[in-house]
Amino acid sequence: MKIAIGSDHGGFKLKEVIKNYLIKKGYEVVDLGCYSEESVDYPDYAVKVAEAVAKGEYNLGVLMCGTGIGISIAANKVKGVRAALCHDGLTARLAKQHNNANVICIGGRTTGVETAKDIIDNFLDNEFEGGRHLRRINKIKDIENS
Ligand code: RB5
């Protein structure tokens, strides 16, 4: 499992914590920036991670900005990306089981470290359920291709 992680300045501190958490859990993690708390623009990092996931270079993307909102909006503009802004373990579990999200987004200024770890665990420890959920994902693909 290869994971690409990225953030803007608002998500930088949480990105560092979650990056190390994922590495400790044995995942291969590549950090696509940013690399400090200097102000940057979240779409630049959203597109780096989202395109890498869409191309199949990574199995999962993890993105953070201050709220997770801007970076999820931007990531979802990349064809093939299903970016889910998760606020807790439940939204993360359902983002995998129902939406088969391939990018998860977390707010660095709105989500605490322990909740962020719970989000990661719930996402990674669950499986996509398929069935009616696959039909709905295929309808999203139809929108992308229309
Ligand atoms: C940056 O100040 C902030 O706007 C950004 O991190 C994010 O919260 C946007 O959605």
The mean per-residue pLDDT over the stretch 37-42 comes to: 98
| Ligand 1 within 6 A of CB of 42 | yes
The mean per-residue pLDDT over the stretch 21-49 comes to: 98
| Ligand 1 within 6 A of CB of 108 | no
Q: Which atom of ligand 1 is nearest to the CA of 11?
A: 6
Given this model, what pLDDT does residue 85 score?
99
Domain 2-145: give its CATH superfamily.
Answer: Sugar-phosphate isomerase, RpiB/LacA/LacB (3.40.1400.10)
Angstrom distance (rounded) from CA 71 to CA 69: 6
**Which pLDDT tens digit goes with each residue over 123-139?**
999 999 999 999 999 99
87 in active site: no
Going by C-alpha positions, the residue among 35, 63, 36 that lies closest to residue 47 is: 63
**Which pLDDT tens digit goes with each residue over 60-104?**
999 999 999 999 999 999 999 999 999 999 999 999 999 999 999
Going by C-alpha positions, the residue among 144, 121, 143 that lies closest to residue 25 is: 121
Tokens read off for 102: 């391939």
Given this model, what pLDDT does residue 107 score?
98
Given this model, what pLDDT does residue 42 score?
98
Note every long-range contact of 32-38, with CB atoms under 8 Å and residues 24 or more positions apart, other chains counting: 32/4, 32/5, 32/6, 33/6, 33/7, 34/6, 34/7, 34/8, 34/9, 36/9, 36/12, 37/9, 37/12, 37/13, 38/9
Given this model, what pLDDT does residue 132 score?
98
Given this model, what pLDDT does residue 99 score?
98
**Choice among 9, 34, 65, 105 that is catalytic:** 65
| Distance from the alpha carbon of residue 67 to the mean position of ligand 1, in angstroms | 6
Helix axes 89-97, 113-124, angle to 10 degrees: 20
Given this model, what pLDDT does residue 73 score?
98
Given this model, what pLDDT does residue 43 score?
99
| Ligand 1 within 6 A of CB of 73 | no
Q: Are 106 and 62 in contact (CB under 8 A)?
A: yes
| Distance from the alpha carbon of residue 130 to the mean position of ligand 1, in angstroms | 33
Domain definitions of the chain by residue range: 2-145
34 in active site: no
pTM assigned to the model: 0.98
Given this model, what pLDDT does residue 95 score?
98
Given this model, what pLDDT does residue 125 score?
98
